Structure 1
Amino acid sequence: MSAKSKRKSTRPSRGQAGAGSRRVTLAQVAEAAGVSRSAASFVMTGRTDQRISEETQARVRSAAATLGYRPDVTSQILRTGQSGTIALVSEFVASTPYANRIIGAALDQARKHDTVMFIAETLGEKDTEERLLHNLLDRRVDGFVYASMFTQNVTIPDVLRGVPLVLLNCCASDDRVPMVIPDEVGAGRTAAQALLRHGHRDRIHYIGGPTSDFRGGPEWGGRVGTAVLDRLAGVKEELAHANLRLAGISETDNWEPRNGREAVANLLAHGTRPTALICANDRLAFGAYQALAAAGLRIPEDVSIVSFDHSDLAGWLQPSLNSIALPHEEMGALAVDLLMSEKPRTGKHAIRMTLHKGNSISTPHPS
């Protein structure tokens, strides 16, 4: 026998074959399990209207796993009208600080529904968005989660009209569409409550009120998110409920540390001495910490601070910052649940934002 004939074959067997091999059929699964093809079909498609014993079902699934059986998606679509896939489409994915939390939770929830989720990034460009949406529709996805990197009002793309759809972190005028958003107004009330519980009353200042030309950073694309007004509105509502009002609002054209530092430094330079600051986000609070330290004021002994977002900054700052967290995981999971629900649940679904306690609030000293 020649050396060539003695050489062990490296060709994969039917069970080992890769992408180029013949697809395992349902008939082969049925034969391996010792059942009829129809019985195997009932088991693999999850039909429960047939009396098939648990032992037989386990045998069919074991045979399918051993053989590497995968359902024919085209046949599934023709039979059920469902592809078992959905898509999450947003302007920015990789570059968004908290995107991983929302997307991770959405992916986990899709897996619980035995559904594959595509992730698509439009980069904020309408032409790119339209091409992506048409491309996904051509792939027969069953529905869309249309997401925004910051809470804002959007116009639903025409191509998504009449398609199963949930808006995530954004709102539209059509209240027949489910919308999942953070409860920013409620968060504002929570911030005010945190200070009121510690006895703050008449020298509470808000840092980060929007100017007429509020930009919100270049990554916002010139758009203003609803949080800009909603957080402040919630603060005012809660204080009014206690027959109080803000001692002042420092307007800023952005929510960066520089803006917070300049706003608080300006207050102090004009002789204003707040007992508490409510900062519109953690980055403004970071700047406020800097301005107070430069003026020789201590947190929280001299000035208490509460903020929003509960970013990494909240833990890094010393003392740690009391900050109200955006509910990213809850939002991502709920959006998928709403999309997969057989019973429509339309309108806004505002998710509560939770205060994470730090060490930046104390009882004000009498002056």
Structure 2
Amino acid sequence: MPPQRATLLQVAQRAGVSRSTASFVLAGRHLDMRISEDARQRVLRAAQELDYRPNLMARSLRTKVTRTIALVSDTLASDPYAGRAINGSLAAAVAHGHLLFIGETEGDPVVEARLIDDFLDRQVDAFVYASMFTRHVRLPKQLKGRPVVLLNCFTGGTRPAQHQIVPDELAAGASAAATLLEAGHNDGIHLVGTASEHVFAGRERLAGIREELQRGGTRLAGTVECEWWPDSAYEAVSRALADGLAPRALICLNDRIALGTYQALREAGRVIPDDVSVISFDDSELAAWLRPQLTSISLPHYELGRQAVEKLLGPPSEPAVLRLPMPVRRRASVAKRAVR
């Protein structure tokens, strides 16, 4: 049988104080209850010697606070790259003395409703509602009126009811364009990937690219349309090169597109970055594995998760949309263009 855990009464008896005095000390209320420093030290020493741990279930029944939060996502938790948001959430929860429960729905509304109900049955104090891809969502009815922060998603409207933590994709697009402009690329810049209006990241990245290029006195020379996957990018870029496309720089809408683009350029005898500079978004593991290593605009997954929990457990503030910066990870795929 496992050893019985020490009780508060045993701590009090060993310290030579009343049970209520021991309770106040361990709850950090020794000052307002005017407990002497000597008594406080005896209680703390007794608790350490007995390896005393408070009964959290009993405390939660008394205070209606469980010091637990739940992160509910579609597929965020199971993605090895975006899962860094879980690490950030966990770090912030631990720093605030909370446990973090994690549940994944795979986008199934029935599973989502059951999962949220289960968390509510366990009396979690608050929720992080997360999405794998930045998008507009409808908050589940069980969460309305409860403490919630949205991670990587919006609910829409001009006055948000909850904090909404998202990457600043608009500024990221501007950073990609600025990186090429700084390297002397003022023409021959093509976009690779389809920036569908309903895909938030693509729409925002393209808008940022266009705005920054316009500020630099130039514009995109064209777009190679493809899905956001290596095989689609490979086929589309190969076809464009065969038809006579001669880009000086390519902006890929994500790293998977860049992988297919690299293969197509290599087969066509184009050298990166001597013949063509390439820049991308996401800064996934692919970026560092490609040769030459890929310059990419980083998605701040860890910071997204950390900030979501900080907003949830930190000092109260007016709900707002917080756009987190996406830093440029400069590597070897962008070269300065020679002046001719």
Normalised by the size of structure 2, how large is the TM-score? 0.93
Larger Rg: 1
Q: Does 1:180 align with 2:154?
A: no
Query: Aligned to 1:57, what secondary structure does the other structure show?
Result: helix
Show the counterpart of 2:223.
249
- Alpha carbons of structure 1 residues 55 and 298: separation in structure 2 relative to 1, 3 Å: farther
Q: How does 1:272-283 map to 2 (within 5 A)?
A: 272-283=245-256
Show the counterpart of 1:322.
295
CA distance in 2, matches of 1:164, 1:109: 16
Spell out structure 1 runs of 4+ moving beyond 6 A. none
1:94 Cα deviation after fit: 4.8
CA distance in 2, matches of 1:161, 1:94: 23
1:58 Cα deviation after fit: 4.1
Show the counterpart of 2:208.
234
Show the counterpart of 1:191.
176
Counting matched residue pairs gives 337
Query: Aligned to 1:302, what secondary structure does the other structure show?
Result: coil
Show the counterpart of 2:110.
127
Show the counterpart of 1:219.
none
1:265-322 Cα offsets, whole Å, 9 max, x none, are 2322222211000000011111111111111111101000000011111111111100
Show the counterpart of 1:86.
69
1:365 Cα deviation after fit: 4.3
Query: Aligned to 2:83, what secondary structure does the other structure show?
Result: helix
Q: Does 1:29 align with 2:15?
A: no
CA distance in 1, matches of 2:146, 2:77: 26
Q: Is the 8 A contact 1:185 1:234 kept in 2?
A: yes
Q: Is the 8 A contact 1:198 1:362 kept in 2?
A: yes
Q: Is the 8 A contact 2:72 2:127 kept in 1?
A: yes
Show the counterpart of 1:216.
none
Q: Is the 8 A contact 1:302 1:364 kept in 2?
A: no
- Alpha carbons of structure 1 residues 335 and 354: separation in structure 2 relative to 1, 3 Å: same
Q: Is the 8 A contact 1:26 1:37 kept in 2?
A: yes
Aligned partner (choices 136, 139, 153) of residue 119 of structure 2: 136
CA distance in 1, matches of 2:91, 2:203: 32
Gaps of 5+ in 1: 1-11, 213-223
1:184 Cα deviation after fit: 0.8
1:227-247 Cα offsets, whole Å, 9 max, x none, are 121111111111122232111
Q: Is the 8 A contact 2:168 2:323 kept in 1?
A: yes
Aligned partner (choices 11, 14, 25) of residue 43 of structure 1: 25
Query: Aligned to 1:40, what secondary structure does the other structure show?
Result: helix
Opposite residue 203 of structure 1, the aligned amino acid is: G
Query: Aligned to 1:277, what secondary structure does the other structure show?
Result: strand
Show the counterpart of 2:312.
339
Show the counterpart of 1:4.
none
Q: Is the 8 A contact 2:196 2:202 kept in 1?
A: no
- C-alpha root-mean-square deviation of aligned residues, in Å? 1.9
CA distance in 1, matches of 2:125, 2:248: 54
1:29 Cα deviation after fit: 1.3
CA distance in 2, matches of 1:346, 1:33: 46
1:132 Cα deviation after fit: 0.8
CA distance in 2, matches of 1:244, 1:211: 23
Opposite residue 34 of structure 1, the aligned amino acid is: G
- Percent identical pairs in the alignment equals 47
CA distance in 2, matches of 1:240, 1:107: 41
- Alpha carbons of structure 1 residues 263 and 42: separation in structure 2 relative to 1, 3 Å: same
Q: How does 1:90-129 map to 2 (within 5 A)?
A: 90-129=73-112
CA distance in 2, matches of 1:281, 1:352: 17
Show the counterpart of 2:190.
205
- Alpha carbons of structure 1 residues 331 and 24: separation in structure 2 relative to 1, 3 Å: same
Gaps of 5+ in 2: none
